């Protein structure tokens, strides 16, 4: 083999969504050598797709809002499985992070007096989401991208990391990656590594996630000895498109409901009124009239049930469809046409208007949309120290969707974009501190291990007769959708775990055609080990957590178990693991919340 | 439903040819769906970029029947029925493989834009009115699909112009900064001298292809051209037009990146 391309850095950041870019900016501003690595072109990460907004208790629309209310909403939305310290930091720091974006050129929609406008979203007591129409993610990613470019950060785009490297002492030393355009491998030695690789949704059939959502970061972290927590907590967003089939799963922003859209069944009934859980009764309207008053003035009525947290709404839609009251293509109706003027809809929700017009031939200013749950977000992820994003592997940090703890068992809308900013920055600081404190120059990499990982990635080329990676991906997605979907049962999860073992065998028999340069079949073959590892963690966690809580719904255990509400399920592998090796899962107590924060939760809602 | 016939360009920088694929038609599909079905069956190594599948990320730009389009937003039932659909990569950029082209030129030109530079943030935050942010917001809708760059004849037909011409995507970036209520950098000499604004002869081809319907020529290029001309005669008039402007910078200062 010829010599490999190699780079030395103080900090490498894997992933260029909001979290990765924010981390890179932080580390670069400390004067360190920083590289930003991503699988797609710069600016195309999932973050660009975020629609509705970024949650921050700035109080621009409702003065009553403050971090304490945001903290409470986040904890309740997460069904108390959140790491309290993350929820606290997030609520306290997100206003500063949003305002900082303005300093870097972002142009949010404005209030009448020229401040940043905030919109309503599910689970947030006050209008709290800073936004730009329904393309907030684009604004966020472009602002960070332009800031990163102005700092002259080195960017490696269309470069996929296949493995992390660790040293004898277990600390991280770098990563092995390949360039997608050429298929050539490249190694990075780094004093610290930040994972910001986003989510895992591509393992389900109906998903809002792109091809990138294969859980690479979750998997490489686990293989390197880091811990994953609560992987069973997967968010199914209540409103994905259901028709045409080819766009099934594509997201319809919650902003539609925040701006007045309502859910109806085939009988024209606003069915959400029938599904208000006890926990939310006190703060949810019990009549249409009251709910409708609330849109104009939050003190004139309680919030509409359409804006309950996502897990509640998704389950309700599922029940309506099961009861035979669904729409023609197996969803329910989301109606804003009869409730807001065409002009308002087009101004507030331009990309939704465009998306339905172009893809479904539906004019949302005239007709209701058909929507149903779609796999959207993973709350579980790499276990981190709240203050600096450190994982249990020295030198390895994580932020954004790949990390776990912040959102508990269910994430509130808008809380991801703010999470990226708050914890992206903190992980950037953590990594910079670590890099500065690490003695000597960049760590030495172990040659033989690098060769081994490269051979592993190239293996599919060595088989002439074997399976098409797309067939395997298809079978995995079907299986996860059926067995580890929105509603789960013990026997189905047992079966899922058996089937995952069979799929893992099949990975060892994949063969790919063609060369290494920009070969999507091969690229997918290198994604599959991560998808299988992550899917196994989800299924294991779902089997162990014998209760229903947020993004984990067990038909055989329909209630939340207060004892399990104090437990994280932690997945582990010995360092140097891989998708073929066993994953161990164990229950561990959540960190204890200080009394002064507990008091905030007990306060009665206004 | 009947079959669809696709003529997809396959090859790399050394050349290539069209490959024909015939598949059963499916209701409601976009061109990208058909490409994905080809990948999943006959040609797993068919190279193509995509991410969002909803016109939001600007990854899937290509030419369909010779016209620049987003693969994910072009419905099969809107193309002439019964005729083969031709899919080729964007023409103005070097080819990597199949439908994927090397768009690094655009990223290089973006690196040359001097950063946004606001005045210090007041205690209670910046104030801007909705009407003032809307001008910039139009340009910030850009999803960086680079199709406007692809159709602009200044670079499509003249490779040699690439070093000195930023292109419509970046003209809207200059315009956005220029019209930003808080910006204090003056990039007018830069946009004229180094970004090649003068080479644009307002053919409007860029505006026609923009999937975000940004009025690139009318709302960005023409006003920029006017301002650049103004700058030669009457800097005071220009100064007055900027809201909240504090200090004017020289182009040399403007090209220095702020912290
Ligand atoms: C359609 C949609 C709408 C949404 N709307 C909202 C909203 O309104 N509000 C909100 O708060 N949240 C929203 N979300 C959720 C939110 O957008 C995501 O959770 C968030 O953007 C994740 O950001 P991230 O930085 O963690 O990762 P991502 O943005 O997913 O970026 C991951 C990065 O990692 C890179 N990467 C992955 N694997 C590798 C590898 N092996 N090697 C190299 N690079 C790799 C990718 O290329 C990418 O650059 C939405 C999500 C979707 C899909
Ligand atoms: S109007 Fe100018 S920038 Fe746009 S395509 Fe024509 S020459 Fe190029
Ligand atoms: S201006 Fe329009 S055509 Fe040009 S890159 Fe942006 S979105 Fe694409
Ligand atoms: S895939 Fe994102 S614009 Fe087409």
Partner residue opposite A42 with nearest CB, options B107, B127, B136: B107
pLDDT in tens, B113-144: 999 999 999 988 999 999 999 999 999 999 99
Q: Are residues A50 and A150 in the same domain?
A: yes
- Does ligand 3 lie within 6 Å of residue B172's CB atom? yes
Please check whether residues A149 and A40 belong to one and the same domain: yes
Examine the domain organization and report whether A60 and A144 are in the same domain: yes
What's the complex ipTM? Answer: 0.93
Mean pLDDT to the nearest integer, B52-80: 96
CB contact under 8 A, A151 and B257: yes
Task: Give me the CATH number covering residue A265.
Answer: 3.90.700.10
Label residue A606 by pLDDT band (50, 70, 90): very low
Contact: B47, A520; criterion CB under 8 Å: yes
For residues A221 and A181, state if they share a domain.
yes
- Which of B47, B51, B259 is opposite residue A518, by nearest beta carbon? B47
Domains of chain B in sequence order: 3-101 (3.10.20.30), 104-254 (1.10.1060.10)
Catalytic residue among A72, A125, A128, A257: A257
Asked if A156 is an interface residue toward chain B (Cβ–Cβ < 8 A), one would say no
pLDDT at B188: 86
Burial degree of A20 (CB within 10 A; 0-12, 13-18, 19+)? buried
Q: Is A426 a catalytic residue?
A: no
Looking at residue A590, what DSSP letter applies?
A: P
Higher-pLDDT residue of A392 and B244 is: A392
Please report the pLDDT score of residue A181 as a whole number: 98
Distance A581 CA to ligand 2 centre (A): 57
Q: Provide, rounded to the nearest whole percent, the portion of chain A with pLDDT above 90.
A: 92
Same structural domain, A405 and A348: no
**Best mutation site among A16, A101, A118, A138 for testing chain B: the one with the most B CBs within 10 Å?**
A138
Protein residue closest via CA to atom 5 of ligand 2:
B152
Query: For chain B, what percent of residues have pLDDT higher than 70?
Result: 88
Q: Which of B167, B175, B216, B225 to mutate to test the pocket of ligand 2 (most atoms within 8 A of CB)?
A: B216
pLDDT value, residue B1: 67
Mutation choice for ligand 3 from B57, B166, B168, B221, CB with most ligand atoms inside 8 A: B168
> Ligand 4 centre from B43 Cα, in Å?
21
Residue of B nearest to A100 (CA): B121
Q: DSSP states of A68-97 as a string?
A: HHHHHHHHHHTTT-S-HHHHHHHHHHHHHH
Question: Based on the domain organization, do A478 and A553 belong to the same domain?
Answer: yes
Q: Tell me which of A2-6, A424-428, B150-154, B219-223 is least confident.
A: A2-6
Residues A202 and A270 reside in one and the same domain: no
> Could you confirm whether A257 is annotated as catalytic?
yes
Atom of ligand 4 nearest to the CA of B73: 4
- Report the number of distinct structural domains present in chain A: 3
Q: Stretch B167-193: mean pLDDT, rounded?
A: 92
| B146 touches ligand 3 (CB under 6 Å) | yes
State whether A49 and B44 contact (CB < 8 Å): no
Mean pLDDT of A344-365: 92
Put simply, the answer to whether A250 touches B53 (Cβ < 8 Å) is: yes
Interface size, chain A vs chain B, as Cβ–Cβ contacts under 8 Å: 175
Instruction: Find, in chain A, the residue whose alpha carbon is nearest to that of B26.
Output: A246
pTM of the model: 0.94
Residue A371 in 3-state DSSP?
strand
CA distance B160 to chain A (A): 24
Residue of chain B whose Cα is closest to the Cα of A49 = B56
Q: Distance between alpha carbon B216 and the CA centroid of its chain, in Å?
A: 10
Which of A328, A344, A373 is the endpoint of a domain?
Answer: A373
Same domain, A53 and A140: yes
Measured by CA distance, the residue closest to atom 8 of ligand 2 is: B152
Instruction: Give a yes or no: residue A8 inside a domain.
Output: yes
Pick the atom of ligand 2 nearest to B207's CA.
4
Residue A454 in any domain: the answer is no
Task: Examine the pLDDT at B254 and tell me if it is beyond 70.
Answer: no
- As a whole number, the mean pLDDT across chain A is 95
Domain that holds residue A342: 247-373
The alpha-carbon gap from B225 to the nearest alpha carbon of chain A, in Å, equals 23
A474 within a domain of the structure (yes/no): yes
**pLDDT beyond 90 at A35:** yes
Chain B residues whose CB is inside 8 A of the A137 CB are: 56
Query: Residue B28 is encoded by which pair of tokens?
Result: 């409601």
Give the pLDDT confidence score for residue A245 in this predicted structure. 85
What's the confidence (pLDDT) of residue B194? 85
Q: In this predicted model, which residue has the larger pLDDT, A550 or B251? A: A550
**What is the arithmetic mean of pLDDT over A138-155?**
97
Of the residues B92, B208, B217, which should be mutated to test ligand 2's pocket, given the most ligand atoms within 8 Å of the CB?
B217
Identify the bridge partners of residue A332 per DSSP, sorted by sequence position.
A371
**pLDDT of res. B232:** 57
Any CB–CB contact under 8 A between A514 and chain B? yes
Residue A241 lies in a domain: no
The string of pLDDT tens digits covering residues B35-56 is 999 999 999 999 999 999 999 9
What integer is the mean pLDDT of A245-261?
91
> Cβ < 6 Å from ligand 1: which residues?
A 14-20, 37-40, 45-47, 49-54, 136-137, 160-161, 196-199, 208-209, 212, 216-217, 251, 377, 400-402, 413-417, 420
pLDDT tens profile A304-326 = 999 998 899 999 999 999 999 99
What CATH number is attached to the domain comprising A64? Answer: 3.50.50.60
Nearest residue of B to residue A355, measured between CA atoms: B54
Task: Write the pLDDT tens digit of every residue in A490-518.
Answer: 999 999 999 999 999 999 999 999 999 99
Residue A167 lies in a domain: yes
pLDDT at B231: 59
The ligand that comes nearest to the alpha carbon of residue B167 is: 2
State how far residue A172 is from chain B, nearest Cα, in angstroms.
30
How close, in Å, is residue A98 to chain B by CA atoms?
11
- Residue A577 is assigned to a structural domain of this protein: yes
A349 touches chain B (CB under 8 A): no
Q: Pick the closest to residue A66 from A94, A108, A100 (CA basis).
A: A94
Name which residue sits closest to atom 3 of ligand 2, judged by CA.
B168
Give Rg (Cα) of chain B.
21
Residues A99 and A172 in one domain: yes
Angstrom distance (rounded) from CA B68 to CA B147: 6
Specify whether A23 is located in the same domain as A147.
Answer: yes
**pLDDT of B257 higher than 50:** no
Question: For residue B2, what pLDDT is reported?
Answer: 86
From A43's Cα to the closest Cα of chain B, the distance in A is: 8
Q: How many CB atoms lie within 10 A of CB A143?
A: 22
A115/B127 CB distance under 8 A:
yes
Cβ neighbours for A229, distance < 8 A, ≥ 6 positions apart = A380, A381, A382, A383, A404, A405, A568, A569, A570, A571
Residue nearest to atom 41 of ligand 1 (CA): A161
Please report which confidence band the pLDDT of residue B258 belongs to, taking 50, 70 and 90 as the band edges.
Answer: very low
Going from the C-alpha of B5 to that of each of A37, A84, A245, B10, the distances in angstroms are: 38, 56, 20, 15
Q: What pLDDT does B124 receive? A: 87
Per residue in A108-117, pLDDT (tens digit) is 999 999 999 9
Shared domain for A361 and A292, answered yes or no, is yes
DSSP state of B75: B
Mean pLDDT of all residues in A563-576:
96
pLDDT for the residue numbered B243: 42
Establish whether the linkage from the previous residue to A244 is cis, with ω within 30° of 0: yes
| Residue A143, in any domain of the structure | yes
Whether residue A347 is found in the same domain as residue A403 = no
What confidence tens digit (pLDDT) does each residue in A443-492 have? 999 999 999 999 999 999 999 899 999 999 999 999 999 999 999 999 99
**Residue A244: per-residue pLDDT:** 86
pLDDT of residue A396: 98
Q: Is the CB of B99 under 6 A from ligand 3?
A: no
For residue B252, what pLDDT is reported?
44
Please say whether the beta carbons of A369 and A408 come within 8 A.
no
pLDDT value, residue B29 = 94
User: Nearest-5° angle of CA A327, CA A333, CA A337?
Assistant: 140
**Ligand 4 pocket check for B59: Cβ under 6 Å:** yes
Which H or E element spans position B225? helix B222-233
Last residue within a domain, chosen from A421, A445, A469: A445
Within a domain: residue A604?
Answer: no
**The pLDDT value given to residue A604:** 54
Of A128, A131, A180, A237, the catalytic one is A237
Beta-carbon contacts of residue A388 (< 8 Å; ≥ 6 apart): A397, A426, A427, A429, A430, A433
Nearest CA distance, A368 vs chain B (angstrom): 18
Question: How far apart are alpha carbons A395 and A161 in whole angstroms?
Answer: 17
Across the interface, whether the CB atoms of B28 and A246 are under 8 A apart is answered: yes
Q: Which residues contact B98 (CB under 8 A, 6 or more apart)?
A: A518, B8, B9, B10, B11, B12, B16, B46, B47, B48, B89
Contacts of B107 in chain A (CB under 8 A): 42
Across the range A547-556, mean pLDDT stands at 95
């Amino acid at each position: 083999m010829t010599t490999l391309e190699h780079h030395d850095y103080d900090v490498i950041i894997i992933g260029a969504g909001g979290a990765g870019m924010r981390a890179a900016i932080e580390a670069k501003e400390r004067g360190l050598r920083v590289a930003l690595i991503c699988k797609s072109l710069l600016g195309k990460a999932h973050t660009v797709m975020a629609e509705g907004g970024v949650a921050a208790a700035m109080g621009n629309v409702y003065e009553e809002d403050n971090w304490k209310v945001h903290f409470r909403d986040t904890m309740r939305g997460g069904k108390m499985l959140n790491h309290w310290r993350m929820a606290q930091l997030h609520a306290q720091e997100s206003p500063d992070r949003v305002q900082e974006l303005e300093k870097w050129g972002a142009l949010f929609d404005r209030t009448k007096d020229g401040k940043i406008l905030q919109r309503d979203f599910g689970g947030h007591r006050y209008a709290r989401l800073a936004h730009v129409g329904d393309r907030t993610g684009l604004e966020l990613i472009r602002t960070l991208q332009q800031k990163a470019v102005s700092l002259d950060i080195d960017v490696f785009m269309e470069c996929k990391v296949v493995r992390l490297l660790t040293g004898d002492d277990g600390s991280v030393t770098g990563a092995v990656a390949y360039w997608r355009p050429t298929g050539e491998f490249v190694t990075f030695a780094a004093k610290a590594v930040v994972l910001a690789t986003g989510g895992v949704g591509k393992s389900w059939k109906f998903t809002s996630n792109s091809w990138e959502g294969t859980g690479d970061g979750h998997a490489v972290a686990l293989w390197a000895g880091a811990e994953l927590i609560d992987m069973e907590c997967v968010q199914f967003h209540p409103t994905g498109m259901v028709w045409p089939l080819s766009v099934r799963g594509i997201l319809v922003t919650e902003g539609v409901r925040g701006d007045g859209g309502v859910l109806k069944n085939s009988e024209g009934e606003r069915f959400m009124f029938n599904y208000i859980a006890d926990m939310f009764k006190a703060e949810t309207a019990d009549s249409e009239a009251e709910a409708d008053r609330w849109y104009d003035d939050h003190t004139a009525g309680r919030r509409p049930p359409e804006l309950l947290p996502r897990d509640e709404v998704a389950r309700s839609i599922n029940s309506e469809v099961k009861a035979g009251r669904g729409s023609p293509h197996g969803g329910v109706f989301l109606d804003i046409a009869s409730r807001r003027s065409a002009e308002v809809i087009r101004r507030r929700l331009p990309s939704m208007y465009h998306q339905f017009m172009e893809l479904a031939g539906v004019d949302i200013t005239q007709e209701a949309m058909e929507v149903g749950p779609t796999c959207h977000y993973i709350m579980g992820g790499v276990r981190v120290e709240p203050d600096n994003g450190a994982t249990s592997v020295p030198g390895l940090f994580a932020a954004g969707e790949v990390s776990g703890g912040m959102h508990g068992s269910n994430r509130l809308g808008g809380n991801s974009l703010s999470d990226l900013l708050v914890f992206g920055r903190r992980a950037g600081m953590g990594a910079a501190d670590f890099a500065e404190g690490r003695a000597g120059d960049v760590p030495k990499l172990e040659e033989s291990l690098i060769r081994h990982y490269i051979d592993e990635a190239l293996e599919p080329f060595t088989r002439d007769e074997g399976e098409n990676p797309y067939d395997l991906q298809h079978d995995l997605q079907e299986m996860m959708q059926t067995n580890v979907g929105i509603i789960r049962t013990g026997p189905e999860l047992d079966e899922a775990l058996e089937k995952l073992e069979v799929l893992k065998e099949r990975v060892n028999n994949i063969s790919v055609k063609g060369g290494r340069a920009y070969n999507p079949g091969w690229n997918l073959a290198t994604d599959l080990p991560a998808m299988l590892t992550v899917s196994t963690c989800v299924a294991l966690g779902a089997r162990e957590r014998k209760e229903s809580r947020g993004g984990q719904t067990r038909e055989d255990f329909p209630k939340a178990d207060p004892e399990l509400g104090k437990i994280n399920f932690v997945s582990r592998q010995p360092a140097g693991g891989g998708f073929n090796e066993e994953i161990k899962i164990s229950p561990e107590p959540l960190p204890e919340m200080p009394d002064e924060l507990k008091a905030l939760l007990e306060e009665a809602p206004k | 439903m009947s079959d669809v016939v696709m003529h997809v360009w396959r090859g790399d920088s050394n050349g290539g040819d069209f490959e024909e694929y015939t598949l059963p038609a499916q209701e409601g599909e976009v061109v990208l769906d058909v490409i994905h079905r080809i990948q999943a069956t006959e040609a797993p190594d068919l190279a193509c970029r995509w991410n969002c599948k909803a016109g939001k990320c600007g990854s899937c730009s290509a030419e369909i029947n010779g016209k620049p389009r987003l693969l994910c937003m072009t419905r099969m039932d809107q193309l002439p029925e019964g005729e083969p659909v031709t899919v080729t990569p964007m023409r103005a950029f070097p080819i990597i493989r199949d439908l994927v082209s090397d768009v690094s030129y655009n990223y290089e030109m973006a690196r040359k834009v001097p950063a946004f530079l606001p005045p210090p943030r007041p205690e209670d935050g910046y104030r801007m009115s909705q009407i003032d942010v809307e001008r910039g917001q139009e340009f910030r809708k850009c999803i960086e699909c680079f199709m406007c760059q692809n159709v602009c004849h200044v670079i499509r037909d003249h490779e040699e112009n690439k070093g000195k011409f930023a292109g419509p995507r970046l003209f809207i970036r200059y315009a956005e900064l220029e019209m930003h209520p808080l910006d204090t950098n003056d990039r007018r000499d830069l946009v004229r001298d180094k970004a090649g604004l003068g080479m644009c002869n307002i053919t409007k081809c860029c505006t026609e292809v923009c999937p975000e319907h940004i009025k690139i020529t009318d709302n960005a290029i023409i006003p920029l051209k006017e301002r650049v001309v103004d700058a030669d005669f009457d800097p005071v008039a220009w100064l007055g037009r900027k809201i909240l402007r504090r200090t004017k910078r020289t182009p040399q200062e403007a090209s220095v990146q702020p912290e």
